[in-house]
Each structure stands twice: as structure tokens, then as C-alpha cells.
Amino acid sequence: MAVSWNRQDNIGLIWIDNPPVNATSHAVREGLAIALAEANADVAIQAIIIACKGKTFVAGADVKEFGTPPRAPFLNDLVQLIEDSAKPVIAALHGTVLGGGLEIALAAHGRIAALQTQLGLPEVKLGIIPGAGGTQRLPRLIGMPEAIDMVASGKRVSAAQALDLGMIDRISDNDLIQDAIAFAQILAGREPRRTGTLPVREFDGLAVDAQITAIERKARGQISPGAAARSAFSAASLPIEQGLKREREKFLELVNSEQAIALRYVFAAERLAAKVVDLEGISPRFVQNVGIAGAGLMGAGIAVAFADAGYDITIVERDEPSMDLGRKRIEAIYDRMVKAGRIDIALKEQRLSRIGFHIDRAAFSQCDLVLEAVFDDLDVKQELFASLSSIVRADAILATNTSYLNPDAIASVIMNPSRFIGLHFFSPANIMRLVEVVRTKDIAPDVLAAGLAVTKRLGKLGIVSGVCEGFIGNRLFTAYRHQCDIMLEDGALPHEIDAAVEAYGFPMGPYAVTDLAGLDISWARRKRDAGKRDPAARYVTIADRLCEAGRFGQKAGKGYYAYDGGKKSVDPAVADLIATISNEKGITRRSFGQDEIMTNIIAGLVAEGDKLMNEGIAMRASDIDLVLINGYGYPAWRGGPMFQSGRS
Ligand code: 3H9
């Protein structure tokens, strides 16, 4: 049964049991409404607790029901029943209290949470706004700017933060249900404190206006963050009944919007990405002690990602000065987090204490996984892995973070290549969510499963890729850049393409990105690989010519743009150079509109996506969309090129 209840002395205990995440499916809503009515009708009961079986309190409305005809009782009505209950209702929270789950809790008259609980209203990530009172009750409990921040970002807060904010009343660090019963005894027989009747604390109206404007700008075309913020803002001016009515109308308007449909696709795609047919029933090989070879920019970011996820890390650098530099890099990342208020000094120290620094590779001897983040050169990597083979345990996993080299070629020097995997992190590795989990030729199933399990524990999205030059991401990026370069040669200018791409919803256009990353590394690669190029394929020389002119990007003060005093501006010299190149090739330049630019880019991405599927490099079309969204800034609310072209 999805909902059951019993009486313990004067307390009615309602249990929701709807695995895997206790979503408020129809059976839960119906059962909860009945249980509430029965517990209220039982004269021996003075207070009611709502709690959940399994690993979490309600994690939201059932997303599988979205897009299907709604069936009463509706969640918003049920939540109102909770708030209107004559007897005090206490929500006993654990796990991830999200969306409709938090809305149930907000309507209760008391909230107690287990220590590890996380709470949030992530609806915006599904292209909707909370539809069961979240935007109206949260500001009444925690204040306007804080509530707007939560509903518009969808971020989660910890139980401790929730307590500080006033979102919950108590934390249980012992037995949640016993503590909830003790709390219920205090409220028993008292007049419930109804969240909907509370006033919204005074706030600075101008500051909140600016906050909402900033949210809308940052959303770059996505509707839900601004809509959620505005709905929360209305709590200050509208009586609760009207606020709830408007919130519901907006929810119903958005739930079947194109953006919400695309974001639901992304939600399902992310869960699908973790499912690999031949890994069913395979337990991942155990990983807790992680070795990282190299603490350059990439290695440092990777070390932070692992330390944040509770792994024990051993870093080995080639000498003392490099080791000190690596340590400083890692400390600097943590200092930035402290400065941004994301962690405190104690947490920084705790995480740093998980990382050991060494210059002798023998330090890797007890690691469960050793990942290299050294210079992307086959000889360097082969030398490293050849020596690691005799240092690490026989069952230890060996991983490469190479972006372009063939992992199977690297693995050829390893005694047992079945333990070799590619884990391709994106830079900055402690921030970027995407990791390509590369299925090498001889990989053991429990090693591939470990790659996925590790990325999940890191809070990242692992996408399985076959072996090819550049894997899924760089292949797509190359195709994307090629389309853009062709348009440059045919008549567009870098700032026009960047503007079209940014208007579409990407945070940055391709040429601004290239200037930021630097043009020199890919130039070196192009020169190295010149012999491998298909002579029949169209080759655009603009990037090479910019490099020849010393225009290596922001670090050189000039690239596709000029950077006088660090400020980006369109450079006529670049337009002249591009026009010269077009002229040399006998191309009559023409103008490109934003729609045409995007149509061409998407067509290029879809064509490369098809190739990746046909070659078996990508497992499914939706993985291709996820790589673009999480690695390259493709707007999630558009679903991705494969989704838009009807391929997934
Ligand atoms: C909402 O609440 C709207 C309301 O404001 C208003 C309504 C009127 N529904 O992620 P996992 C499934 S909107 C149905 O791998 P984890 C998921 O598909 C909702 N199913 O586990 C998967 O199934 P399968 C707001 C759901 O431990 C399985 O559970 N809430 C839902 O890594 C395990 O999922 C959210 O947006 C759902 N809501 O993470 C929360 N959620 O095994 C979204 C999950 O068949 N969910 N499933 O593939 C999450 O963030 C994570 O799933 C959670 C668990 C943190 C809960």
C-alpha cells in the first residue's frame, strides 16, 4: 500500500511507501487524503506525523504523470488539506525532500529533519514552477530574497542551512521518528501554526527587483526561473488564496510547454545514461583510495572533485617544486570556495586533509584507482602506465584523462589491460559536470561499472563513449566549429556567429570560447595531424592564419577579438583577414541571419551525432544531447540537436 497509518498513543503516524523516491503518484495522493481524514476523525489522536519509508521523504510529484490527464485528488488540494488540518501535522523528513515533497512539508505545522536531509524546489530544472504552494509558503517561512534564490535556482540546502533559514524547526541526529513523536507531543492539542497565514518578512523591494532581473538575464531564454521568482515575489502582495491560484495557473501553463517537455526528456535521458545493457547485475569494482598522477590545472580540479565526494586521494608529482605548485593550486580552488561562501574554513581543512602529496610513484601502491592527468603525449603516458603496472595492486583500476590520444594505444603497455579505462573530465574538473567514461577495448565489466559509479558519486554525469579520436564531445565540438568556420569563410563574422549562438541560449559563442581557451594548442594539433586530413574535405585556414599572426586569444591580448585592457571588442583586422581568405578561395561573401546560422550548426551537430551512433561510439542519441548540454553549454531547455531532429 502506498500510504498506511497507525496510532501510537495520542499520535497518528502516516507512512508513505512508494519506491523508489516516494513521488506523489495518484495512489499516494489518494492514500494521504484518506489517512489525513481518518487520523483527524480519530478522537484519541492529538497530532499527526507524515513520514516516509525507504531512502527518502517524498522527492517530488511523479514526473511520469506530467503530460497525462490530471487525476484528483490534486497535490495542491492535498497540501491545502494538510495546512487546514484541525490537528497539528508534523513532517518527519529524511533523504531528498524535493518539489512536491517540500511543498507537503511547508504546509505542515512543524518540520523535523534528519541530519543528512537535503531540501529544495527543483521544479525550474523541469521547466515548471512549484505547483503546490512552494512559491507562496517558502517566502513566508524564510523571507523573500532567500525564497526567490531557492525557487529560481532549484538548488538544495542542507538540514543545517534549512534550520538557519527557518524552513524547518528541528534537526534529529538520532532516531527521526522518535524525535518526531517527541516534537508532536509538544504541539499536540495546540492550535497549529499555519504557514499560509504568516506574513512575509519585510525586505528591500529594489534589491529584490534587481535580483529578479539578474535571474531572468542569467536564464538566457529559459522561462521557468523568472516565472518561479515572480511567483514567489507575488507572495508579498497577494493574499495566500490568490497567490496559490496564480501559482497553479502558471504551473499548468508551463507543464506542457515545449521547454518543460524538453527538460523532462533531459531528466529521463540522464537516468538512461547510467543504464548500460551489458552491465546489468554487475557490481562496480570498489574504489575509495584514488591516486592522481599530475597536479596541473586538470589534476588539481580532479583532486578537488574527489576530495569533495569523500574519497582519499594520493597525488604524485614529478618533483618537489611541481608538487608545491599543485598543492597551491588546490588550496587556491578551496580558497575561492571559502570566499564565495560555499564552504567554511573547517570544511576546507577537512577536505585538504584527504589529499596526500608525494613525489614517489610508490605512494600509489594501495590505491584502488590511479588516474593520470599528465601531459597529453603518448610516450609520457605510456612511460607512466608501464611503471604503474608494477607499483599498484593487481586489481587496481588504471585510468587516463586523455582528450585525444587513443586509450587502447596507451593500454598496450599495461600487463592487464582489462583494468584500463578512460575518464575524460572537462575543465575546470571540479565544476564541469560531464565525464566521458571511455570503454576501452579489453575493459572488464566491473571496471566500466566502477567508472560510472565513481562519476555518480562525484555528483557528475558519466556518459559512456567508445574509443575514437576526441570521443563523443570533441568530435561534436569539432563538427560544430567546422560549421561555424565554413560560415566565416562564406561571409559571416565571428561576433555575428557568437551573437546567434548566445541568443539561442549558449552561455558563450564558439569564438569567445576559443579566445578564452587559447588557439595555440589546437593549432599545434592541426599541424601535427595535417598528413591525416582528408584532402577532399573543405579545410578552413582562418584559425591557422590568426595563429600565424600571433593572435592566440585572450592571453595574447588578441584572437578572434581584440582585448584592449582585457575588454573584448570586435577587431576590423580580423574581418579584413577573413575577407582576404575568402577572396583567395574565390568565395563571394554573403550575409547570414541568426536563424540560418543556428540551422547550419544544428545540422552539423546532427550529422556528426549520426556518425557517432553508426560507428557505435555513442550508445544512444540522448547521450549525444547530454554531452552537448553538460560539456559545451547547449541550452538544456531546448533538449539538444538529436531531440530537436526527432532522433531521440
Ligand atoms: C514537482 O514536484 C512539481 C510540484 O511542485 C507540483 C505538482 C503539482 N517522479 O535519480 P535516480 C525515479 S516536480 C518519478 O537515479 P538518485 C527515476 O526516474 C518534481 N520518478 O536516483 C529513477 O527511476 P528508474 C520535483 C522519479 O538516488 C529512480 O527514481 N522533484 C522521480 O540518484 C531513481 O532516480 C524532482 O525534480 C520523480 N519525481 O537520486 C526530483 N524522481 O530507476 C527529481 C526520481 O526507473 N529527482 N524518479 O530510472 C531527483 O532529483 C533524484 O531522482 C533524487 C534521487 C535526488 C530524488
Question: What gap in Å lies between CA 99 and CA 56, rounded to an integer?
Answer: 13
Task: For residue range 453-467, list pLDDT tens digits in order.
Answer: 999 999 999 999 999
Contacts (Cβ under 8 Å, ≥6 apart) of 454: 284, 287, 369, 423, 462
The number of the ligand 1 atom at minimal distance from the alpha carbon of 75 is 8
Closest protein CA for atom 10 of ligand 1: 271
Q: Would you say residue 404 has pLDDT above 90? A: no
Neighbours of 593 (CB within 10 A): 11
Strands (E), 460-504: 461-465
Average pLDDT over residues 544-566: 96
Q: Would you say residue 82 has pLDDT above 90? A: yes
507 CA distance to ligand 1 middle (Å): 27
Contacts (Cβ under 8 Å, ≥6 apart) of 458: 305, 306, 308, 309, 435
For ligand 1, is residue 60 a contact (CB within 6 Å)? yes
Neighbours of 205 (CB within 10 A): 11
618 CA distance to ligand 1 middle (Å): 25
How sure is the predictor about 277, in pLDDT bands with cuts at 50, 70 and 90?
confident
Question: What gap in Å lies between CA 644 and CA 648, rounded to an integer?
Answer: 8
Q: Would you say residue 389 has pLDDT above 90? A: no
146 catalytic? Reply is no
Q: Which residue has the higher pLDDT, 372 or 70?
A: 372
Mutate to test the pocket of ligand 1, among 28, 58, 63 (most ligand atoms within 8 A of CB): 63
494 CA distance to ligand 1 middle (Å): 41
Identity (one letter) of the amino acid at 560? Y
For ligand 1, is residue 130 a contact (CB within 6 Å)? yes
Q: What is the pLDDT of residue 436?
A: 98
How sure is the predictor about 168, in pLDDT bands with cuts at 50, 70 and 90?
very high
Please give the share of the chain, as a percent, with pLDDT higher than 70. 100
Q: Return mean pLDDT, the chain.
A: 96
Q: Would you say residue 357 has pLDDT above 90? A: yes
Average pLDDT over residues 611-623: 97
Q: What is the pLDDT of residue 17?
A: 98
Q: Would you say residue 648 has pLDDT above 90? A: no
Closest protein CA for atom 33 of ligand 1: 20
30 catalytic? Reply is no
- Cite the DSSP H helix spans in 280-400: 297-308, 320-339, 345-352, 378-389
98 CA distance to ligand 1 middle (Å): 9
How sure is the predictor about 115, in pLDDT bands with cuts at 50, 70 and 90?
very high
For ligand 1, is residue 359 a contact (CB within 6 Å)? no
For ligand 1, is residue 640 a contact (CB within 6 Å)? no
Q: Would you say residue 205 has pLDDT above 90? A: yes
How sure is the predictor about 432, in pLDDT bands with cuts at 50, 70 and 90?
very high
Question: What gap in Å lies between CA 292 and CA 535, rounded to an integer?
Answer: 40
Q: Would you say residue 268 has pLDDT above 90? A: yes
Question: What gap in Å lies between CA 608 and CA 630, rounded to an integer?
Answer: 17
Please give the share of the chain, as a percent, with pLDDT higher than 90. 95
Q: Would you say residue 566 has pLDDT above 90? A: no
Q: Using DSSP bridges, classify how beta strands 3-8 and 11-16 pair: parallel, antiparallel or unpaired.
A: antiparallel
Q: Would you say residue 70 has pLDDT above 90? A: no
Q: What is the pLDDT of residue 505?
A: 97
Catalytic, out of 30, 83, 103, 202: 103
How sure is the predictor about 565, in pLDDT bands with cuts at 50, 70 and 90?
confident
Q: Would you say residue 187 has pLDDT above 90? A: yes
Q: What is the pLDDT of residue 629?
A: 98
